[in-house]
A and B are shown apart, each in its own frame.
Chain A
Amino acid sequence: MSLIHEIDYGTPASKSEKLVTLTIDGREITVPEGTSIMRAAMEAGVEVPKLCASDMMEAFGSCRLCLVEIEGRAGMPASCTTPVAAGISVSTQTQRLKDVRRGVMELYISDHPLDCLTCAANGDCELQDMAGAVGLRDVRYGYDGANHVKARNNGEINRQWAPKDESNPYFTFDPAKCIVCSRCVRACEEVQGTFALTISGRGFDSKVSAGMNEDFVSSECVSCGACVQACPTATLTEKSVIEIGQPEHSVVTTCAYCGVGCSFKAEMRGEELVRMVPWKDGQANRGHSCVKGRFAYGYSSHKDRILNPMVREKITDPWREVTWEEAFAHVASEFRRIQYQYGRDSVGGITSSRCTNEETYLVQKLVRAGFGNNNVDTCARVCHSPTGYGLNQTFGTSAGTQNFDSVEHTDVAIIIGANPTDGHPVFASRLKKRLREGAKLIVIDPRRIDLVRSAHVEASYHLPIKPGTNVAILTSLAHVIVTEGLANEAFIRERCDWSEYEDWAAFVAEPYHSPEATEAYTGVPAELVRGAARLYATGGNGAIYYGLGVTEHSQGSTTVMAIANLAMVTGNIGRPGVGVNPLRGQNNVQGSCDMGSFPHELPGYRHISDDATREIFEKLWGVTLSNEPGLRIPNMLDAAVDGTFKALYIQGEDILQSDPDTKHVAAGLAAMECVVVQDLFLNETANYAHVFLPGSTFLEKDGTFTNAERRINRVRRVMRPKNGYADWEVTQTLAQAMGLDWNYGHPSEIMDEIAATTPSFAMVSYDYLDKMGSVQWPCNEKAPLGSPIMHVDGFVRGKGKFIRTEYVATDEKTGPRFPLLLTTGRILSHYNVGAQTRRTDNVVWHPEDRLEIHPHDAEQRGIRDGDWIRLASRSGETTLRSLITDRVAPGVVYTTFHHPTTQANVITTDFSDWATNCPEYKVTAVQVSPSNGPSDWQVDYDEQARQSRRIAGKLEAAE
């Protein structure tokens, strides 16, 4: 094992197809037109000295180190800013160049501290490397004159000097070591798109400034780490590197946060993780990252992690630590007892969208083959199950149609019900880059998300819909496209069922779908809807990106169909730059769905009633499978309250915190006789558990995650599991305790079984993934390289199916008692229920959930910014602090759900999507009033949680 060093070509690759041949140091090289001489040289194997250049951003030409000489041309042009030309002959090393470079380096070093031995970048410093490369042997200028290095000059205060900024929890900024190459500033602009950094002053006074000379943490900086990665010196350095030292080996793995699925190099010293650095070859992230994946991994060694299995008779008892053998034997005997007593269908399991494909596959296999029923479900139930249903009905497969690279070809993007800058930050950066290049943006969201207007990005249209009216607005968009003759009839005739299209077109053309008619309940001015529809239909490549603001509604599945209809009617399917793109919430939501986690289907989205599919698994597993669909999570809870469902094995999901109507979830869990929770921490669900099996982190196991673009990425183990077993081993040993003959020696063997049984994975194996880096399913004989874009020559189901989408108002209605509509979302620094991110320094940015309320609504209620307020719905009430903002419209309030004390899901109701039972998180009628402190429920809950977390023989753990 060694440290992976990625080649930096100095400038980005040219996309030109025209080739140019030139000579560099006597070597002939052919490169695309527009390539810089620096990059061409690197491709020819010649490394020109450089400091301000990096292939992550455009050439800048400021450091004057990369000079070259070109035969027949005067002077010494910078090789980063000079493009290649046919037939030129370039010299990268001449006496004149050597002298100039040495002089430049001498000036750099004359204003740089010489504490190299004790410097955190020692061993990873480009300034040091370049001093070596140019043969700098002597610095003739001391620190007596003006400099940025010493706090005092001859006893006087040195006003050019500035102290280290340590405000960011993850990295430091030491201006004394800065060479003002602007790489950080450009990374913030070009890669991240936040524009938080700038160069203030001119000439020798130039310095890097976060915002208006603020410290990093109070500036607009989003802590993505792009600047730290770009910095060639120790000016911007990870605190972990300062504390530990330089890494000695690295392993490429996949982030375990959101569905973007960024590739990282886990840089290690022994088994200690020094830092996570985004990998340039990662095809989802292309070398970029966000604050979560880059820095928020501290939870993996947090003191709250439970490392020993625990058992208790009653949930009111304290936990008792036991051996793994005892825990497995207990679970096996309890599940067998319960099945004997209450019937085979009285038990079930929940797979995790945070665990690997292999682990998820094993849990559903345990349920189907071991428990002998199909009572298996997954957290996708509460997020993207309508995507599965809706896209399957219309296109024939339940997955996004594009890769993330596709956005580079998009001309008009529609973002609906998603907040990518917070939820999917690396995708947002890629989108913003395209928007800065001139692509247009339409945002459909009740809230003014950052993308509506932020640095160098402005949406052409923001349709601020009333929560719950997605179907109405999308059908109105379709109405405009059809009635104004903007439909792409050639595409529809070729790819879709024409008679279904005619039926649908007549339906959407009805006057009651016109923007003028729907304005009354969507709240969106008709002219905006018409303008947006025209732009999407005629603006070139149109791509729709959506999130849980689409799916988590009573009409979630209908909305997904409406999106698919829009893509088909405009012909925006089957090529780069277009498509329907669900932004998946968790790292492996796509994978957990692919792996047969739903109660009605086997891996590869094949219905359980299909005899041929069942036969494949029955033969391999040596069992008879039930042909009846099993219970979905909400149905399990209902059945538990009814007394027919008694035991549940939950791997890596916190249903008590993440599922709607907390009181109902609690009642369901309390009615069960054996709840098994496998997790890193004593999560909220564990308050109702009888057995706790410690889980392992993504750093501690091998496997694969499948991201939102269907990309199967490898997860590679970099340290031993702190709890002793990877999660797949826990499930396997549990299965063995139940008498199943499972003998997987490595997760690759599980993937081999998946490939052997699931046609869309037929060619996937760990060897193949190692060779390819990653692949997007389907990956089989028909598509051996995987499938970056789907439905290229036709839809998976044959002809695309247009489906009527009638708007039906949700039964969750506002009234005199509950006049406001609550909707929910995410914030950048936290992830889902926050179990991981709350156990990192990310709490610096978001220590609590706040309720966003419009100034008008706040004033009516006498609420000031930061006041404690009571938030009540028909389901329950909670308290949290207010945040007054006009991001939300009057009548709408908004909160995040990252902190368990907030208990946002005490408020949300039992309503759900008609097709999939995906809960309606995004619409709840509420009232807001001033409050003095926690609600009775919060007090009781806290006490119950505290009691249920007691471990015999240990001091009470503090949350």
Chain B
Amino acid sequence: MSPENPNAKLIYMANQIATFFQSQPAEVAAQGVATHINKYWEPRMRRKLFEHIDHGGEGLNPLVLEAAPKIRRPEAA
């Protein structure tokens, strides 16, 4: 995990989730990622994820980006 990027850990966690759902049937994969993040990620974490996605989402697994519209976007802090 690169310490330079403050979002590195979050990206890593999101990608881990995506890696699991990638192996699941394609039709449920993106929804699986979104549901998981909605259920278990505190708004601060989701907010940071969206900040990163809004800045291009570099380093994120494409499945996370595919799931993004289904992830609940928290209100700005």
A residues lining the B interface (CB < 8 Å): 345, 374-375, 503, 554, 557-558, 599-600, 607, 609, 628-632, 635, 638-639, 642, 644, 803-806, 808, 910, 912, 914-917
Minimum CB distance partner of A507 in chain B: B23
Could you tell me the distance between the alpha carbons of A609 and B72 in the complex, rounded to whole angstroms?
12
Partner of A915, one of B1, B6, B22, B36: B36
Q: Distance (Å) between the CB of A813 and the closest chain B CB? A: 13
Contact A631 B24 (CB under 8 A): no
Could you tell me the distance between the alpha carbons of A804 and B22 in the complex, rounded to whole angstroms?
10
Contact B44 A631 (CB under 8 A): yes
List B8-67 residues whose CB lies under 8 Å from chain A.
9, 13, 16-17, 19-20, 22-25, 36, 38-45
Could you tell me the distance between the alpha carbons of A803 and B17 in the complex, rounded to whole angstroms?
15
Contact B42 A803 (CB under 8 A): no
Could you tell me the distance between the alpha carbons of A365 and B7 in the complex, rounded to whole angstroms?
32
Note all chain B residues with C-beta closer than 8 A to A638: 9
Contact A607 B25 (CB under 8 A): no
Minimum CB distance partner of B72 in chain A: A628
Could you tell me the distance between the alpha carbons of A541 and B42 in the complex, rounded to whole angstroms?
42
Contact A607 B39 (CB under 8 A): yes
- Known: A554-B16, A600-B40. Is A910-B23 also a contact (CB below 8 A)? no
Contact A914 B16 (CB under 8 A): yes
Contact A644 B44 (CB under 8 A): yes
Q: Distance (Å) between the CB of A375 and the closest chain B CB? A: 8
Note all chain B residues with C-beta closer than 8 A to A635: 42, 45
Note all chain B residues with C-beta closer than 8 A to A910: 1, 9
The 10 closest A-B pairs by CB, nearest first: A806-B23, A914-B16, A631-B42, A628-B43, A914-B20, A804-B23, A600-B40, A914-B17, A630-B42, A629-B42
Contact A628 B23 (CB under 8 A): no
A-B contact pairs, 5 of them (CB 8 A): A642-B6, A804-B24, A914-B13, A914-B16, A914-B20
Note all chain B residues with C-beta closer than 8 A to A644: 44
With a 10 A CB-CB cut-off, give which of A375, A630, A638, A914 has the most chain B CB atoms.
A914
Note all chain A residues with C-beta closer than 8 A to B6: 642
Note all chain A residues with C-beta closer than 8 A to B1: 910
- Known: A503-B25, A915-B36. Is A599-B19 also a contact (CB below 8 A)? no
Note all chain B residues with C-beta closer than 8 A to A642: 6
Minimum CB distance partner of A626 in chain B: B43
Contact A345 B44 (CB under 8 A): yes
Note all chain A residues with C-beta closer than 8 A to B25: 503, 804
Minimum CB distance partner of B17 in chain A: A914
Note all chain A residues with C-beta closer than 8 A to B20: 557-558, 806, 808, 914-915
Note all chain B residues with C-beta closer than 8 A to A631: 42, 44-45
Could you tell me the distance between the alpha carbons of A239 and B38 in the complex, rounded to whole angstroms?
57
Could you tell me the distance between the alpha carbons of A630 and B43 in the complex, rounded to whole angstroms?
8
Minimum CB distance partner of A503 in chain B: B25
Contact A609 B17 (CB under 8 A): no
Minimum CB distance partner of A631 in chain B: B42
Note all chain B residues with C-beta closer than 8 A to A345: 42-44
Note all chain A residues with C-beta closer than 8 A to B38: 609
Q: Distance (Å) between the CB of A392 and the closest chain B CB? A: 11
Minimum CB distance partner of A601 in chain B: B39
Q: Distance (Å) between the CB of A951 and the closest chain B CB? A: 36
Contact A629 B13 (CB under 8 A): no
With a 10 A CB-CB cut-off, give which of B16, B41, B43 has the most chain A CB atoms.
B16
Contact A609 B23 (CB under 8 A): no
- Known: A914-B17, A915-B20, A917-B13. Is A629-B40 also a contact (CB below 8 A)? yes
Q: Distance (Å) between the CB of B3 and the closest chain A CB? A: 11
Note all chain A residues with C-beta closer than 8 A to B36: 915
- Known: A638-B9, A808-B19, A910-B1. Is A600-B39 also a contact (CB below 8 A)? yes
Could you tell me the distance between the alpha carbons of A917 and B74 in the complex, rounded to whole angstroms?
21
New contact pairs (15) apart from A642-B6, A915-B20, CB-CB < 8 Å: A345-B44, A554-B16, A558-B20, A629-B40, A631-B44, A632-B40, A635-B42, A638-B9, A804-B24, A804-B25, A808-B20, A912-B13, A914-B17, A914-B19, A915-B36
Could you tell me the distance between the alpha carbons of A374 and B19 in the complex, rounded to whole angstroms?
28
Could you tell me the distance between the alpha carbons of A554 and B20 in the complex, rounded to whole angstroms?
11
Note all chain B residues with C-beta closer than 8 A to A917: 13
Could you tell me the distance between the alpha carbons of A599 and B43 in the complex, rounded to whole angstroms?
12
With a 10 A CB-CB cut-off, give which of B17, B22, B38, B44 has the most chain A CB atoms.
B44
With a 10 A CB-CB cut-off, give which of A374, A609, A628, A916 has the most chain B CB atoms.
A628
Could you tell me the distance between the alpha carbons of A642 and B39 in the complex, rounded to whole angstroms?
22
Minimum CB distance partner of B9 in chain A: A638
Q: Distance (Å) between the CB of B31 and the closest chain A CB? A: 14
Could you tell me the distance between the alpha carbons of A804 and B23 in the complex, rounded to whole angstroms?
7
Q: Distance (Å) between the CB of B13 and the closest chain A CB? A: 7
Q: Distance (Å) between the CB of A924 and the closest chain B CB? A: 15
Contact B44 A639 (CB under 8 A): yes
Note all chain A residues with C-beta closer than 8 A to B45: 631, 635
Note all chain A residues with C-beta closer than 8 A to B23: 804-806
Note all chain A residues with C-beta closer than 8 A to B40: 600, 629, 632, 915-916
Contact B19 A628 (CB under 8 A): no
Note all chain B residues with C-beta closer than 8 A to A806: 20, 22-23
Could you tell me the distance between the alpha carbons of A916 and B45 in the complex, rounded to whole angstroms?
14
Could you tell me the distance between the alpha carbons of A806 and B38 in the complex, rounded to whole angstroms?
23
Could you tell me the distance between the alpha carbons of A766 and B52 in the complex, rounded to whole angstroms?
52
Note all chain B residues with C-beta closer than 8 A to A915: 17, 20, 36, 40
Could you tell me the distance between the alpha carbons of A631 and B40 in the complex, rounded to whole angstroms?
9
Could you tell me the distance between the alpha carbons of A629 and B40 in the complex, rounded to whole angstroms?
6
Contact B24 A803 (CB under 8 A): yes
Minimum CB distance partner of B46 in chain A: A628
Q: Distance (Å) between the CB of B41 and the closest chain A CB? A: 7
Contact B42 A628 (CB under 8 A): yes
Q: Distance (Å) between the CB of A214 and the closest chain B CB? A: 51
With a 10 A CB-CB cut-off, give which of B6, B36, B45 has the most chain A CB atoms.
B45
Could you tell me the distance between the alpha carbons of A916 and B24 in the complex, rounded to whole angstroms?
18
Note all chain A residues with C-beta closer than 8 A to B44: 345, 631, 639, 644
